[in-house]
Structure 1
Amino acid sequence: MSNSKVSMKLLIDTKEKRVLFAEAGKDCIDFLFHLLSLPVATVISLLKAHGMVGSLPNLYQSLESLNDTYILPDQKKDTYLKPMPTVSSSSVPLLALTGAGKSQKKFYRCGSCFGYVSDERGATCPSCFLDMSSNITYVAPPAAKSSSEGVGLVKGVVTYMVMDDLMIKPMSTISSITMLNKFNIKEVGALEEKVVTLGMTEAVKLLKTSLQSKKVLTDVFF
């Protein structure tokens, strides 16, 4: 999926200054659920420049700063600092969130043999005993389509309701009326619709706010 932005339609209570809920399509819901698959290190690397609270950023920085002298020869810091996501990023919008749209795999071969590859630069070729230092670019296979719905996680035949606290469920007329009753909305004229777009900046802000607030949509967009 090539989309770099997704959108949702907010229903805002202008009197109480809060987002009641949002209407969102498949692309947006796929992205929100994709947040659950992000490795902790990826979340830290995204948020450490945005004032992430707690001590995990210190743990990340400690490993990032640790000299390679102290790392076992068969281990790599990037395995922990830049782990691969558990969900194929090619099936999820806002790929820039993880950077996984670009290959993170690197392989090497020697200059004369073609039967061996290594993921460690400088390894010894078992055939000619030369250093394996010639870079080979890894090409990922195309994302498989499991159905006519295409890629991603959820189906696109319905509109979804996203609550202020990121609770998500399929949307219907009844569910919308139920929500308005739940919020005790008496003045329909105080309600306002607003379409918002999520790019990289908004996505990172949403991720950070979701770790700190129960009013995510209100805090991010209102």
Structure 2
Amino acid sequence: MDQSSEKPKFNMRLLIDEKKNKVVMAEADMDFVDELCGLLTLPMGTIVRLLEKHQNPQSSRVGCFTNLYKSVSNMSVDNFETKACKDLLLYPKSLKESHCSRLKMNLADTESPRFFVCPSFDYGRLCGKVYSNTCTSICSCGKLMTREVQIEEEDQAEGDGVFLSFRSSFIITDDLKVMFNSIANVLSVLNDLGYAGFDKLQERLLEVGSDEVLTLLGCIFNSDTPLTDTFLRGTCVSRKQKCLAAFVKESIVAGPRLTLKVFVRKLDRVILYAECREDFIDFLFSFLAIPLEFLGKFCSENANIGCVENLCRSIEGLSLEGEGETTVAKCVLPYSYNCRAQLLDVIIQEVQEYECIVTSFTASKLSKKIEKKTNGSQRILKLRPVNPKSKGTSDSTGLAFVKGKTKFMVSDDLHVTAMNSSSTIAVLSKLQVNINDIEEQVISIGQAEAISLLRASLVTNSALTNGLSKFLPKTKLKKAPQTTSFMIPKTESTP
């Protein structure tokens, strides 16, 4: 086999307690830790897509995010404002795509952003001074923006790594705390775990490929010992779910709010389903664009995502000490992920303008700033991005993913369906719930409720109940009367 066609691998040294069948720590080079940094920059929708393709079902589920992603995939494109809206959610964009494209192992197959203009774009027929990063955007003239234009590449910063600039090997603990390799750090880890020496420990050298990295990615969400599960067991041993009632103590009044109608089982306050309008669905679907690094910063330890938080905190520490590029203060999303009501504390990227030189028949490469002089037959144009969610209009519109004036139904585990394409009767029948044990409640969703819902979506299979039930109005529980469950009457066939 040609060596150039071989898949990249990382070298790793494991220190194992064979009696306990447990990884005590791992020793890895900068390329592998750069890969971990890259995983943190991936949007949650990309992570779900990668794990769904990975042949390891036990480690492929990410709370309710898997159902949320499948809901977008299964929903008809007719329910979205444009086809690009659906594509933005199935293949969410990251501000770090150009970084990830330079990793030794680019799991997400990301590439540097591509730029498109209208096929009619030239000096004589300017449909709009706009560009797009997707060929499914619509120009103001109604045509798809399929004409690709090149962009002048910026000089890459000199350095050995993509995210890390400090030359070193690294120590990684079983719960994904990463630190620079040193005798002091090794002794500290061993001492904290109760090992007085190496007599009970064995070393193992191995090569780590894409399958192992994807298994590790799944174990980050589903295991307290991801290194052991990945390299010794080959699958995840799921942690027990904790009670999430302590996420947020009280509602935050300030800021935008949405109204959500929920149907609650009286006996245990389980939220069975919610009915809502398009603004809440836009907000819910925007979860898929949030990078993993933001969730790790955002969620506290009682959210039961200790390994995600450990990885985020330790990588941030490495970045600060080694002057890398991984530190993120707030979640910043590409400009096309703005939505009707953004309840979370996120920042939408500022619109990036580019310049190009055009003549009667040609256009030059796009550039952030053109310094050279032009002659009389040339003209410098400034191009703004068109929002792919809009239908050829300005970027100030196009805030919606799904079409307006549409009602949706959301299950407790975040399966989303348009009510014009689902049977409410069939849903109620499937629940097999006593009719008198269901009550309708209305929840006002603000920042506190949004945070709680996001956290519950990541670590439980009952996002609505775990994330929102504590915000339901306080009512006394009543014993339900003994009646039959809701059943669909059988229709007699005509003889």
Q: TM-score, normalised by structure 2?
A: 0.39
- Give the distance between the partners of 1:209 and 1:157, measured in 2 at CA: 28
Matches within 5 A, 1:43-122: 43-49=47-53, 50=57, 51-52=60-61, 54-73=63-82, 75-87=84-96, 88-95=99-106, 97-101=107-111, 105=114, 107-110=116-119, 113-115=121-123, 118-119=131-132, 120-121=135-136
Cross-structure match for 2:397: none
Query: Per the alignment, do residues 133 and 194 of structure 1 end up closer, same or farther by CA in structure 2, a change over 3 Å counting?
Result: same
Query: Per the alignment, do residues 11 and 68 of structure 1 end up closer, same or farther by CA in structure 2, a change over 3 Å counting?
Result: same
Does the 8 Å contact 1:91/1:151 carry over to 2? no
Query: Per the alignment, do residues 197 and 139 of structure 1 end up closer, same or farther by CA in structure 2, a change over 3 Å counting?
Result: farther
Matches within 5 A, 1:1-222: 4-49=8-53, 50=57, 51-52=60-61, 54-73=63-82, 75-87=84-96, 88-95=99-106, 97-101=107-111, 105=114, 107-110=116-119, 113-115=121-123, 118-119=131-132, 120-121=135-136, 123=138, 131=143, 135-136=147-148, 141=153, 144-145=156-157, 147=158, 149-186=159-196, 188-222=198-232
Deviation at 1:79, TM superposition (A): 1.1
- Give the distance between the partners of 1:63 and 1:193, measured in 2 at CA: 45
- Percent identical pairs in the alignment equals 26
Query: Per the alignment, do residues 9 and 201 of structure 1 end up closer, same or farther by CA in structure 2, a change over 3 Å counting?
Result: same
Deviations 1:109-161 (A, max 9, x none): 42x654567545584576xxx9456542656836612x4x3341223422211
Query: Per the alignment, do residues 187 and 69 of structure 1 end up closer, same or farther by CA in structure 2, a change over 3 Å counting?
Result: same
- Give the distance between the partners of 1:40 and 1:122, measured in 2 at CA: 23
Q: Which consecutive unaligned segments of at least 5 residues does structure 2 have?
A: 233-495
Tell me: higher relative CO, structure 1 or 2? Use CA pairs within 8 A at least 6 residues apart.
1
Does the 8 Å contact 1:12/1:193 carry over to 2? yes
Of 160-169 and 53-62, the range deviating more from structure 2: 53-62
- Give the distance between the partners of 2:215 and 2:23, measured in 1 at CA: 16
Aligned residues: 213
Query: Per the alignment, do residues 191 and 61 of structure 1 end up closer, same or farther by CA in structure 2, a change over 3 Å counting?
Result: same
Runs of 4+, deviation exceeding 6 Å = none
Query: Per the alignment, do residues 188 and 104 of structure 1 end up closer, same or farther by CA in structure 2, a change over 3 Å counting?
Result: same
Q: From the CA coordinates, give the structure whose radius of gyration is larger.
A: 2
Task: Report SS of the residue matched to 1:181.
Answer: helix
- Give the distance between the partners of 1:158 and 1:201, measured in 2 at CA: 25
Deviations 1:77-101 (A, max 9, x none): 1112111223221332310x11103
Deviation at 1:199, TM superposition (A): 1.7
Q: TM-score, normalised by structure 1?
A: 0.80
